[in-house]
Amino acid sequence: MRAITFSEYGTLDVLQLKDVEKPVPKEAEVLIKVHAAAVNDWEEGLYSGKPYFMRHWYGWMKPKRRFQIPGCDVAGTIEAIGTGVTKFQPGDEVFGDLCVSGFGSFAEYVCAPETALALKSKQMTFVQAASFPQAAQLMVQGLIDVGKLQAGQKLLINGAGGGVGTFGVQIAKQIGAEVTVVDSGIKLDMLSSLGADHVIDYTKEDFTRNGMQYDLILDTKTSRSAFDYIRALSPTGIYATVGGSMPRYLQALLISFPLSLFSKKKIFVIAQKPNKDLAYMTEMFESGKVKPIIDGPYALDKYREAMAHFLKAEHKGKVIINMV
Ligand SMILES: NC(=O)c1ccc[n+]([C@@H]2O[C@H](COP(=O)([O-])OP(=O)(O)OC[C@H]3O[C@@H](n4cnc5c(N)ncnc54)[C@H](OP(=O)(O)O)[C@@H]3O)[C@@H](O)[C@H]2O)c1
């Protein structure tokens, strides 16, 4: 089968499209014929081997064999099942996030535990299905599980134009929140079209210094200091970050406990729980409440363009690689 693979750490150039052996499902695993996969930050982390502490899992000097094909979001058709699989059968169309089960979706076939997958809605294309698992999961956790977002509350999403934020705007509008989005100017029209009430171009305005305060700030970039975010929260406001600048991410983590002793404001650093809400995402999609914003799709042999486009943050929504 064809797969995007790498055998040493480095820049984007270490990724190569190669013919490799088709995998065979082990016990409790299924073999998926991949139709589409989404690009995430994970890919750069894997092939660059950074941040370095991640090498504890992926291999210190070079990537371990089982981590040599990147790709976590997957949508495809089950071709074979291993012993003990009870949830699926060959022919089932599935989607899911493989980030805790060995990655590998940038390939024509991948094996995955059945627990990492859910049935794909017939109403969803494979390209749409691949856009959901990781990005929408982070937003459901951020807005609903941690943020406890309520109708009428003021929400700000920082870094809203990518995969996570474009789902977030739509989910938050369904909840009935007043939504402000922050991103670069070229993404703001698209975000307004998704229902954002207010838009801020971060290259022109610092939302932490304009006097506005929010009940919930959901951050995909952690681009400012934790103290700036605290200033922009209402007296009982919540700041929740899913990722971004590592030093700022750690600063937010360190400040969260002392802040809770002196203030009703709260800081949360979210650790994703993969695939927890695939059924909820399906329901939101089928009822027409959420539609994925797709950048691409790119053919498998155009993976380098797709990755470069994502790394330069030129994309809007989710960048998708199409295998068929
Ligand atoms: N917590 C977990 O367990 C977990 C798991 C997986 C992923 N993650 C994290 O979740 C995040 C994924 O977000 P995503 O996929 O939506 O990212 P994305 O697609 O890269 O989107 C981020 C957006 O932020 C914008 N941006 C860049 N600098 C900014 C700034 N200073 N202020 C405001 N906006 C800015 C970018 O556009 P411009 O560059 O054009 O401005 C882009 O539109 C990543 O940080 C990833 O590491 C976390």
Q: Give the DSSP letter string of 86-109.
A: -S--TT-EEEEE-TTTT---SBSE
Mean per-residue pLDDT, 238-246: 93
Assessment of whether the complete model's pTM goes beyond 0.85: yes
**Residue to mutate (ligand 1; options 143, 221, 275; most atoms within 8 A of CB):** 221
CA of 156 to the centre of ligand 1 (A): 14
What average pLDDT does the structure give for the chain?
97
Mean per-residue pLDDT, 258-275: 96
Mean per-residue pLDDT, 93-101: 97
Q: Sorting pLDDT into bands at 50, 70 and 90, what band is 76?
A: very high
The domain ranges of the chain are: 2-132+292-322, 134-269
Displacement of CA 315 from its chain's centroid (Å): 14
CA of 168 to the centre of ligand 1 (A): 12
Give the residue whose CA is nearest to atom 20 of ligand 1.
162
Specify the pLDDT at position 324.
Answer: 81
Give the residue whose CA is nearest to atom 5 of ligand 1.
272
Query: Looking at the predicted structure, is the pLDDT value of residue 218 above 90?
Result: yes
Q: Is 61 helix (H, G, I), strand (E, B) or coil?
A: coil
Give the residue whose CA is nearest to atom 29 of ligand 1.
159
CA of 164 to the centre of ligand 1 (A): 7
CA of 316 to the centre of ligand 1 (A): 11
- CATH entry, 2-132+292-322, from 3.40.50.1820, 3.40.50.2000, 3.40.50.1980, 3.90.180.10: 3.90.180.10
CA of 267 to the centre of ligand 1 (A): 18
Rounded to whole angstroms, the Cα distance separating 6 from 46 reads 9
Query: Looking at the predicted structure, is the pLDDT value of residue 245 above 90?
Result: no
Specify the pLDDT at position 10.
Answer: 97
Per residue in 277-303, pLDDT tens?
A: 999 999 999 999 999 999 999 999 999
Summary count for the chain: helices (H), strands (E): 10, 15
Q: Sorting pLDDT into bands at 50, 70 and 90, what band is 256?
A: very high
CA of 219 to the centre of ligand 1 (A): 8
Residues with CB under 6 A from ligand 1: 41, 134-135, 138, 158-159, 161-165, 182-184, 187, 202, 220-221, 223, 242-244, 270-272, 313
Specify the pLDDT at position 260.
Answer: 94
**Rg of the chain on CA atoms, in Å:** 20
Query: Looking at the predicted structure, is the pLDDT value of residue 257 above 90?
Result: yes
Specify the pLDDT at position 285.
Answer: 98
Displacement of CA 162 from its chain's centroid (Å): 9
- Position in ligand 1 atom list of the atom nearest CA 161: 43
Per residue in 112-160, pLDDT tens?
A: 999 999 999 999 999 999 999 999 999 999 999 999 999 999 999 999 9
Q: In residues, how long is the chain?
A: 324
CA of 183 to the centre of ligand 1 (A): 10
Give the residue whose CA is nearest to atom 43 of ligand 1.
161
CA of 22 to the centre of ligand 1 (A): 33
Using CA atoms, how far residue 232 sits from 49, 206, 237, 251, 298, in Å, is 35, 10, 9, 17, 39
Rounded to whole angstroms, the Cα distance separating 199 from 49 reads 35
Give the residue whose CA is nearest to atom 34 of ligand 1.
159
Displacement of CA 45 from its chain's centroid (Å): 14
- Position in ligand 1 atom list of the atom nearest CA 224: 31
Percent of the chain's residues with pLDDT above 70: 100
Q: Which CATH superfamily is domain 134-269 in?
A: NAD(P)-binding Rossmann-like Domain (3.40.50.720)
Q: Do domains 2-132+292-322 and 134-269 have the same CATH topology?
A: no
**Residue to mutate (ligand 1; options 98, 103, 145, 184; most atoms within 8 A of CB):** 184
Give the residue whose CA is nearest to atom 46 of ligand 1.
243
